[in-house]
Structure formats: C-alpha cells, structure tokens
Amino acid sequence: MAQPVLPVALERGSGISLVAQLANGVRGLVSARAIEPGARVPSIRALGADLGVARAVVEQAYDQLIAEGWLIARRGAGTYVAEVGRLQVATVPAGRDAAPADETTAGRVRMDTGTPWMDPRHDAGWRRAWREVSAARIPRGYPDAAGIPELRAELAGYVSRTRGLSCRPDEVLVTSGITHGLALLLDVLDPGAVAIEDPGYRAAVATVEQSGRPVLDVAVDSEGLDVAALRSSPAAVRAVYVTPAHQHPLGITMSAGRRIALLSEATRRGALVVEDDYDSEFRYDVAPLPALAALDRDRVIHLGSASKSVHPGLRLGWLVGPAAVVAAVAARRGARHDHPPWPVQLAFLSMLRAGHVDRLVRSARRVYADRSRLVVQALSSYGDIGSPPAGMYLTLPLPGPVADSVRAQCWQRGFDIPSLEFYSRTSGRTGLVIGFGGLTDEELSRALDVLTAALDRERLAVQPTQLDDVRDDEPDPLLARAYSSP
Ligand SMILES: Cc1ncc(COP(=O)(O)O)c(C=O)c1O
C-alpha cells in the first residue's frame, strides 16, 4: 500500500542541512498533531524517493526524531508516531506594566533623569579599559560571588574617598547597579514592607513590588522623607528606601536632623535603611555630603552605581553593608550565578585605577553645573525651581493641568519631558522633571525655547507655584568630617 506523503518542504542551499530541515518538518507535523500518535510514517525508501533525497538523509532525520522521542521504531514493522501529548501554548498575559504604545518617545528627544552626559574627550579611557580586559588572563571558572576581590578593594577605597564612608573590602559587594543591589538585598530580608519616598524612584518601587513585598509610600517635605509620617504607620516595615544626598525627583538634600530621626525610627522598628546614592558625585557647590551610611554602618545599606558616572548600560554598581549582610547576599546569589560579568567588573576596575571615572565625573559635573544655571535662568520665573545643588535634572512644580498642557506642547515640538506625577503615587505633586544630562547643548537650548514658549502660553509668570521646600544647600555641620572628593 502506498505510504502517505509527508508535506515537508526542503530547500537546498538554505544553509540548513537537509537532515535538519526534514527532522524539523516532521517534528512540526507531529507536535501540531498533523500526524496522529500511532500512525505509521513513510518508509525511508518511500520518503527519500518522494522528496528526492538520499535514503541516508531520511534515515538520519528519523534516527534523530527517534532519539528525541517523537518517533518509535518497531523492529521489522516500520516507524510510528509516539504518543507525546498535546503542546499547550501559553499566552503571556499583557501585564499592567506593559508600556502602552503611545508612551514611547517616538523619535523625540527624551529629557529623562537617567541619561548622563558623556565627555567624548574621554573615550580613550573607555577603550583602554576594554583593551586591558581583552589582554587579561582568563580566570578559571566562575568569579567570586561577591565580586572580584581587586574591585571590592578598589571600591572600598573609592567610597571612602568620595563618600566619607570608610569600609573594608569584605563589606563591599559588586552588583549590576542600584536596582540590582536592592533586589539582592530584598532577597535576604525577612518578610515585610519597604517604605519608599513619594514622589520617589519608580524603578525602586517596581523592584520592591516584583519581589512580592508591599510598598509603603511616605511623603517628602523640605527636609527629606517625612519621618513623622513613617512613625505613624502601623505597617510592618522591613526597610526604608531613601535618596538622602539628592532626593529623587524633588532634588532635596536630607537635613542632618532628618537623618538622625530616620535612623532612630529605623532602629525602633528593627528596619534597615537603604541609601540610594545615585548621583552624589555631581554636587556642584560643595563636596558631596558624606553618605548616610557613615552615620550608622550597621543600620544602613549603601547602594552606589556607575550608571551616572560611566554609563547606565555598563550595569555595574556596589552595595556597602555589614560583612554578614554582604556574605549572605553573596551566598544567595552565588547559588544562581547572579553576579556581574567578569569582563565588566574588570573593565570598571581598570577605569577606577586609571582615574577614568574621576575624570568623567569632574567634566560632567562642570557641564551639569553650567546647564543647571541655564535651566534655572530660563525657568525660575515660572515656578519654584530653586537653585539645585547637584545632578542632571531639575523639578519645576506646576499645577497639574498646566504641567499636562506644557508637556503636550513640548511633545508636539519634539521633546519628551517627564511629569512629576509620573514619580508620584499618592503625593499629588504635579509639575515637570526636566532632565538635561543626555542632550546636546543645541538640543537643550531648543528645549528651553520650546518650554518657555509653552509656559508663556499658559501665562504662568504671574502666579508662580511653591515647591514648599527650602533647599538645604549647606553642608551639615553634624556630618562635617574629613574626606576628600575627586
Ligand atoms: C534615583 C535613582 N536611583 C538609581 C539609579 C540608577 O540605577 P541603576 O544603578 O540600577 O542603573 C537611577 C538612575 O537613573 C536613579 O535615578
């Protein structure tokens, strides 16, 4: 009896062997139930003749499928389709986090808070680091789960020199950035909520929520996180996440009194404080304030990152905390090989040692100081933009409808400016968060023209809005201590 012909198309010269094409074709027919389990497939000779290929091709394809369990060979009785069950095709639910299509920047200049300016004059330093990586001896096996020892030692020196936080290498863990450091830490903490500044850093909120923990939104006032509001919450808080050097996105420096109050409250609750130190290197007026962690080494976990100083795509950061916490995190992540790639660690080590990071920070700081002056000059008559002490963005408080309208006008003219509402979950604060790091000078100048024209249309100059904050530009006397900055 003639065997049924299998509808498999073979393409010669496609770069895929005929054996693989035939095996793929038959596998597809079986998994789609185009051939039922128990059915006999054509003999090697018949299929070879039908497809115009050598018998050896069919034989090898059948052998492969028999080895994989799709076909069964019955001695002397031919080859049959195995009972493999039906493939359930999972549909991935469109999660609430999926970005709607109209939220993409679509060719506009995005003025976000996370894209740094990079001085092209320092490209040679970047290339030198990667040359060193390619020349390095390739290590045996996986790197140390806490990070390569030389980098941990170098980072201990770096945070003590630049952040007034003296620590030992065994108190440093190399991460793939601040958000990664937070996720790793949450992994070893007992169950409980994480309190976060509101408005605050969206990626931290997402990291906490994705870890399955509740987020407790805590308001921010002119001195930083409102500790009294935290104190009044009955929630079981395991950690408090703050940006004390430069509150994200309001730009406030946490006052000395508030630092002390926060540490007392965390101690009372038996909670950790997580210090997100994302851009303290870019303080323009005085040396960066010492890290909050310098006040209480046992209570505060300090998170730093190369995302602003070198590049966010490098995915390199550090966690500084008690040696026992570092060891617990390293053990946990080591079990799943979740450490930054060895070449990235080595490249960053080389950049630190060669002074490349310091050079990048120094030149970017100058550019940010100039740009921030430009933005303040252009916008200060429209609202309480203050005179920011640091960073690569400024926040202009505006009534919600005005902010929306200005944002829409800027969008139409090619600029995507985040709204303060985007960072706000319960605070009700509205305005614009104007990032100026990732733009060219020319783009920034055009952006300010577009922005001021839109604000003029809203006739805001007459009715400035207050941020209700007094900025604390002075170094905290309580924290005054000897440390040097790059
Ligand atoms: C508040 C804040 N924290 C942390 C980061 C950096 O995160 P990561 O080190 O994961 O890139 C950023 C970057 O934009 C930030 O704005």
pLDDT for 58-81, tens place per residue? 999 999 999 999 999 998 889 999
Cα diameter, the chain: 97
124 has pLDDT over 90: yes
Question: Is residue 29 packed enough to be buried (19+ CB in 10 Å), middle (13-18) or exposed (0-12)?
Answer: middle
Q: Name the band, by pLDDT with cuts 50, 70 and 90, for residue 94.
A: low
H or E segment and range at residue 415: strand 415-416
Nearest CA to ligand 1 atom 7: 178
**Residue 467 in this model has a pLDDT that exceeds 80:** no
Residue 447 has pLDDT above 80, yes or no: yes
Q: Which atom of ligand 1 is nearest to the CA of 249?
A: 1
- Render pLDDT for 364-398 as a digit per residue (tens, 0 to 9): 999 999 999 999 999 999 988 877 788 999 999 99
Quick one: pLDDT band at residue 6, thresholds 50, 70, 90?
A: confident
Query: Which tokens hold the place of 437?
Result: 């790091």
Instruction: Indicate if the pLDDT at residue 469 is higher than 50.
Output: no
* Residue 272 pLDDT exceeds 80: yes
Q: Which residues pair with 300 in a beta bridge?
A: 273
Q: Which residue's CA lies nearest to atom 4 of ligand 1?
A: 278
Q: Is 177 in the pocket of ligand 1 (CB under 6 A)?
A: yes
- Residue 139 in tokens: 């290590």
Separation of alpha carbons 426 and 196, rounded Å: 11
pTM over 0.75: yes
Per DSSP, the three-state class of 434 is strand
Please give the Cα distance from 343 to 57 (Å, whole number). Answer: 43
96-110, 125-139, 159-173, 378-392: least confidently modelled range: 96-110
CA 367, CA 392: separation in Å to the nearest integer? 9
Return the residue whose CA atom lies nearest to atom 3 of ligand 1: 278
Average pLDDT over residues 233-249: 96
Protein residue closest via CA to atom 13 of ligand 1: 114
Residue 196 CB–ligand 1 contact under 6 Å: no
pLDDT for residue 484 = 29
Average pLDDT, the chain: 89
What is the H or E stretch that residue 363 is in? helix 356-379
Q: What is the mean pLDDT of residues 37-53?
A: 93
The 10s digit of each residue's pLDDT in 403-424 is 999 999 999 999 999 999 999 9
Q: For residues 205 and 195, what is the distance between their CA atoms, to the nearest angstrom?
A: 9
End-to-end Cα spacing for the chain: 86
pLDDT of residue 286: 77
Distances (CA, A) of 185 to 180, 277, 413, 443: 9, 15, 42, 39
Q: Give every CB contact of residue 242 below 8 A, 6+ residues apart in sequence.
A: 197, 224, 225, 254, 262, 273, 274, 275, 276, 292
φ, ψ for residue 42, nearest 5 deg: -55, 150
| Percent of the chain as helix, strand, coil, to the nearest 5 | 45, 15, 45
Q: Name every residue whose Cβ is closer than 8 Å to that of residue 234 and which is 6 or more positions away in sequence.
A: none
Given the CA of residue 204, which atom of ligand 1 is nearest to it? 3
Give the distance (Å) from ligand 1 centre to CA of residue 269.
Answer: 27
- pLDDT tops 50 at residue 331: yes
CA of residue 202 to ligand 1 center, whole Å? 9
Q: Is 126 left (phi over 0), alpha (psi -120 to 50) or beta?
A: alpha
3-class state of residue 170 by DSSP:
helix
Report which ligand 1 atom has the smallest distance to the Cα of 276: 3
Backbone angles phi, psi at 73, to 5 degrees: -95, 125
What residues does 175 pair with on adjacent strands? 317
Identify the structural domains of the chain with CATH numbers, from first to last.
18-81 (1.10.10.10), 101-116+359-457 (3.90.1150.10), 123-354 (3.40.640.10)
Beta strands in 158-271 (DSSP E): 172-175, 193-198, 215-221, 224-225, 237-242
User: Looking at the predicted structure, is the pLDDT value of residue 42 above 90?
Assistant: yes
Confidence of residue 460 (pLDDT cuts 50, 70, 90): low
Cα separation, 434 vs 393, whole angstroms: 5
Query: Per-residue pLDDT for 126 more than 70?
Result: yes
Q: Which residues of 146-165 are buried (b: 16+ CB within 10 A; e: fewer)?
A: bbbeebbbbbbebbbebbbb
pLDDT of residue 465: 53
Ligand 1 centre to CA of 276 (Å) is 8
Ligand 1 proximity of 197 Cβ (cutoff 6 Å):
no
**CB-ligand 1 contact for 340 (6 Å cutoff):** no
- Cα–Cα nearest to 307, from 340, 337, 329, 332: 340
Length of the chain in residues, anyone?
Answer: 486
pLDDT at 482 over 70: no
For atom 2 of ligand 1, which residue has the closest CA? 278
Note the pLDDT tens digit of each residue in 195-225.
Answer: 999 999 999 999 999 999 999 999 999 999 9
CA 210 to CA 299: how far, in whole Å? 24
Q: Is the CB of 62 under 6 A from ligand 1?
A: no
